[in-house]
Structure 1
Amino acid sequence: MAKSTATYWNTLSPENRTRWTPVEGLEGMAEELTLSIDPVSGEYTRLTRFLPQADTSLFGAKAHDYPEEVFIVSGRLYDQAFDRWLETGHYASRPPGELHGPFKTDIGCVVLEISFPNRAQSDGIA
């Protein structure tokens, strides 16, 4: 099966505000909007919006056993694992197991994530 498809629509338009849902555990700090998903492989494309002053320090850094790509669409986000501010236009292709976060932002940030859970490694990374 392939990833879901959609016709053109403006994900950042105010009339689509209700399509965003709080990220579980980060309510009041981050929201997400799944753009496309393959229910069989688990591959997905998602936007994550970190609200101004969000800080995920309490949750620590994380890694997962599959590769993902991230692109900063707008704003800026500090990634403590890299001791670096990621700003509009920054891109990374993360290999399985790469530590990232925790994150914080002063002005807010929108991140495009393309994740490939079907390419997971079985080495116990959570």
Structure 2
Amino acid sequence: MTKSTTTYWNALTPENRDRWTPVKGLEGLAEELTLSIDPVTGEYTRLTRFLPGADTSPFGGKAHAYPEEVFIVSGRLYDHAFGRWLKAGDYASRPPGELHGPFRTDQGCVVLEVSFPNRTVEDKDV
């Protein structure tokens, strides 16, 4: 099977506001919108919107056993693991096990995320 497909539409317009859902565990801080997913492999493309003033510090940083790519679409986001502000246009291709976050934003931020959960590494420390 392959990732789902769709024709052009704008995920950031007000008329598509109802397609966004709260990120589980980060209600009131972040919302997500899955753009494409492969139901067999679990690979997905998603937008994550951090709301103005969001701070995930109480949850700490995280790492996972699979690679992912992130691209900052708009706004800015502070990544504590890297000690830097990310702004529109910043991109990273994260290897499995790389620590990222916690995050905070003053003005809000939209992040495009492409994740590959079926491409895991066998490492108990991840």
TM bucket, shorter chain: over 0.9
CA shift for structure 1 position 125: 4.7
Distance 1:40 1:55 in 2: 33
> 3-state DSSP class of the match of 1:15?
helix
* Structure 2 residue identity aligned to 1:72: I
> 3-state DSSP class of the match of 1:117?
coil
Alignment-derived partner of residue 35 in structure 1: 35
What TM-score does the superposition give when structure 2 sets the normalisation length?
A: 0.98
Alignment-derived partner of residue 53 in structure 2: 53
CA shift for structure 1 position 122: 1.6
Q: Which deviations, in whole Å up to 9, do the C-alpha atoms of 1:6-56 show, x marking residues without a partner?
A: 110000000000000000000000000000000000100000000000000
Alignment-derived partner of residue 11 in structure 1: 11
Cα-Cα RMSD: 0.7
Alignment-derived partner of residue 78 in structure 1: 78
Conserved 8 A contact 1:64-1:125: no
> 3-state DSSP class of the match of 1:81?
coil
CA shift for structure 1 position 118: 1.0
Identity percentage of aligned residues: 79
- After TM superposition, the structure 1 = structure 2 runs for residues 80-99 of structure 1, keeping only pairs within 5 Å, are 80-99=80-99
Relative distance call for 1:111 and 1:125 in structure 2 (3 A) is farther
Please identify runs of 4+ aligned residues in structure 1 that moved more than 6 A: none
> 3-state DSSP class of the match of 1:34?
strand
Task: Tell me, yes or no, if structure 1 residue 44 matches structure 2 residue 44.
Answer: yes
What TM-score does the superposition give when structure 1 sets the normalisation length?
A: 0.98
CA shift for structure 1 position 124: 2.3
* Structure 1 residue identity aligned to 2:39: P
Alignment-derived partner of residue 66 in structure 1: 66
* Structure 2 residue identity aligned to 1:103: F
- Unaligned 5+ runs, structure 1: none
- Unaligned 5+ runs, structure 2: none
Q: Which deviations, in whole Å up to 9, do the C-alpha atoms of 1:42-99 show, x marking residues without a partner?
A: 1000000000000000000000000000000000000000000000000000000000
Distance 1:125 1:30 in 2: 27
Distance 2:36 2:122 in 1: 25
